[in-house]
Structure 1
Amino acid sequence: MAIANIFVYVVRYGILNWSPIYLKEVAHLSNSGAAIGFSIYEYAAIPGTILVGWLSDKVFHGRRAPMGIICMIGDILAILVYSHTTNITLLFISLAVMGALIYGPVMLIGVSALDLVPKKASGTAAGFTGLFGYLGGEVCAEAVMGFVVDKFKWSGGFNLLIICSILSIIFLAFTWNVHDRSRDSVKA
């Protein structure tokens, strides 16, 4: 989960840190237009995270990985739309979708870590996955994304985000059946 979190954070911060620049340089939006896009990404996270958490409980019976994988697949699709459109409305819609979906896996990985350990170890578990995300993911998103965009243009940066999304899916898949509460209700 901690390794998956690295790749989720690369996508999260890759979009968060670089979307205002992309919107200004490529979409030719004003500073206020880029700020609107940035805000859409952030505000979409609130209902998205709530919905993703609810779905992981109700539909997947506490299994966090399936919902995280669905979110990352949705993020890949939104990144593809975002990177290939010049339509401002589609840019903003894809930012909203990315924002609504990327914060779900961030939250689900932390919750999954909490689900796996005794209560007295919950802070350590959450800290461990968070540390991997911030140190590995955020630093990589800042430094590597900038390098990749400089060297391979924006298409290289978007390819990096898609590759990181795929890697997060692979690592989340290893925890597919972790904490399935439907089995607990059958035993009771």
Structure 2
Amino acid sequence: WILALSSAFMYISRYAINSWGVFYLEAQKGYSTLDASFIISICPVCGIVGTIFSGVISDKLFGGRRNVPALIFGLMNVLALSLFLLVPGVHFWIDVLAMVLFGLGIGVLICFLGGLMAVDIAPRNASGAALGVVGIASYIGAGLQDVMSGVLIEGQKTVQNGVDVYDFTYINWFWIGAALLSVFFALLVWNVKPK
């Protein structure tokens, strides 16, 4: 259950960027739709790279331990979101770097939180159920994120001279807070041994 919560919070930050990232870059930072779409498209490409190398990272660099790389890439996820959300204005290369780090981090975390760690600590005869619980929790987190983000964004909208203006302060902390909670819950299974 703890890994399911960790993965659900990670999915909140993942789908926040997937669902709202282009809008955020346009409304908050002033990017064109084309530039905003390009920046956000970096994330899934780097996610593929993170996913491909996640097993090598844990098996070769950390002797099969998943908790250390989960912590490293969880913190990378928090750092990337912070760069993306808290550095104001158009800083193209900072936003690109943020999406590279975010994509790599999410790619690794999907494998660890959503799969490898759950299978490692679940009893062998319950590994499929463990993956199912983590998967369900993850998509519940993703769905709740879309609703909550929409409510928070719309709730902080004002109209100035006929133009919609958004205050993303609550969104920033919601998305970063979700990433931090994902790291926190992953740390709670740090010393759990396989059954």
Shared fold by TM > 0.5? yes
* Distance in 2 separating the partners of 1:97 and 1:154: 22
Q: What's the offset of the Cα at 1:45?
A: 0.5
Give me the TM-score of the superposition, normalised by structure 1.
0.85
Give me the TM-score of the superposition, normalised by structure 2.
0.83
1:131 maps to 2:136: yes
Q: Equivalent residue for 2:72? A: 70
Structure 1: state its 5+ residue gaps: 181-188
Spell out the pairing of 1:1-188 with structure 2 (5 A cutoff): 1-83=3-85, 84-85=87-88, 86-109=90-113, 110-135=115-140, 137-152=141-156, 153-179=167-193
Cα distance change of structure 1 residues 171 and 87 upon mapping to structure 2, 3 Å threshold: same
Q: Equivalent residue for 2:161? A: none
Structure 2: state its 5+ residue gaps: 157-166
The residue identity in structure 2 corresponding to 1:27 is K
Q: How many residue pairs get matched? A: 179
Residues 55-112 of structure 1: per-residue CA shift (max 9 Å, x gap)? 2222333222221221121121112211214211211211121111122112101111
The residue identity in structure 1 corresponding to 2:179 is S
| Structure with more strand by fraction | 2
Q: What's the offset of the Cα at 1:118?
A: 4.9
CA-based RMSD of the aligned residues comes to 1.9
